[in-house]
């Protein structure tokens, strides 16, 4: 159950972000900078905790897995965009063609690979990857704030918004549990492929949704903050 608990803990920042958005007016610049820091942390986690570990297990699996993960995320994201979920990370006005269910699907799509990775870190190292945990927690926080503002603009009630984030948090915990149970006794090449698959999906998500939104809200400072996030996660990985 440790895998479920860690996955739920990482996703619990969705609930925290929802509460912040309901209680306070969070400046968009602050959201952008938090998102930038999370982008740097996630990039470092992909490089040092996913791709490096996968390469040590199977060099071929890294390339195939990353390409597969990128293509699957790209395809799923494109489908969600078409049904109205392309503005799910925006804290500003959501156009009339934005679909609340599509926004929810998009957020789940963003979070599932990250949660599976948390379960995988328990398989590969018998301990949670602190950099991955911090990255997922930080990246979820501004996403939940932005999406909550948008959902409230579409007349969602506070109870419904918090119920949504609670459901996604539980789903993330189950995804982490699945990542652990299904791969605990798997062949190293399979673990390498899944790690790389998640890495490709996360990198595609960062470039497609998270980094552009961070820059739009945070301005030129996001470059410095992203680098700070990358360095912080690298040090966390190196010292753990």
Helix 130-153, helix 222-239: angle, nearest 10? 140
Q: What pLDDT is recorded for position 225?
A: 93
Please list, in sequence order, all residues whose beta carbon lies within 8 angstroms of the beta carbon of residue 220, skipping any fewer than 6 positions away.
none
Q: What pLDDT is recorded for position 126?
A: 64
First to last CA, the chain: 22
Task: Tell me what the pLDDT averaged over the chain comes to.
Answer: 80
**pLDDT exceeds cutoff 60 at 104:** yes
pLDDT in tens, 142-200: 778 777 877 777 778 999 889 989 988 998 888 888 878 877 777 878 888 888 888 88
The answer to whether 191 and 5 have CB atoms below 8 angstroms apart is: no
Average pLDDT (19-32) is: 85
**pLDDT exceeds cutoff 90 at 98:** no
pLDDT in tens, 111-152: 777 777 777 777 666 666 677 787 778 778 877 877 787 777
Distance (Å, whole) CA 168 – CA 11: 8
Average pLDDT (88-101) is: 52
Q: Closest by alpha carbon to 215, among 11, 84, 28?
A: 28
Q: What pLDDT is recorded for position 103?
A: 60
Pair of tokens at residue 24: 């306070």
Q: Taking the CB of residue 23, how many other CB atoms lie within 10 A of it? A: 9
Residue whose entry in the numeric block shows the structure tokens 């969705």:
14
Pair of tokens at residue 120: 């995988």
Distance (Å, whole) CA 115 – CA 3: 9
């Amino acid at each position: 159950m440790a895998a479920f608990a860690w996955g739920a803990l990482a996703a619990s920042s969705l609930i925290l972000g929802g509460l912040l958005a309901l209680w306070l007016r969070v400046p968009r610049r602050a959201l952008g900078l938090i998102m930038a820091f999370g982008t740097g942390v996630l990039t470092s986690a992909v490089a040092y905790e996913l791709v490096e570990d996968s390469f040590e297990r199977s060099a071929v699996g890294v390339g195939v897995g990353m390409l597969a993960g990128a293509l699957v995320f790209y395809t799923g994201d494109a489908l969600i965009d078409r049904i109205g979920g392309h503005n799910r990370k925006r804290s500003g006005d959501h156009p009339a063609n934005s679909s609340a269910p599509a926004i929810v699907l998009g957020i789940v799509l963003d979070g599932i690979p990250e949660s599976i990775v948390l379960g995988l870190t328990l398989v590969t190292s018998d301990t949670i990857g602190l950099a991955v945990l911090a990255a997922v927690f930080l990246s979820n926080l501004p996403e939940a704030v932005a999406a909550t503002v948008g959902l409230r603009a579409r007349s969602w009630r506070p109870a419904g918004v918090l119920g949504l984030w609670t459901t996604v948090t539980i789903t993330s915990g189950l995804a982490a549990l699945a990542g652990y149970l299904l791969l605990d006794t798997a062949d190293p090449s399979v673990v390498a492929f899944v790690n790389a698959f998640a890495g490709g999906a996360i990198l595609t998500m960062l470039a497609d949704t998270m980094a552009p939104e961070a820059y739009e809200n945070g301005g030129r400072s996001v470059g410095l903050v992203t680098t700070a996030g990358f360095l912080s996660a690298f040090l966390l990985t190196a010292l753990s």
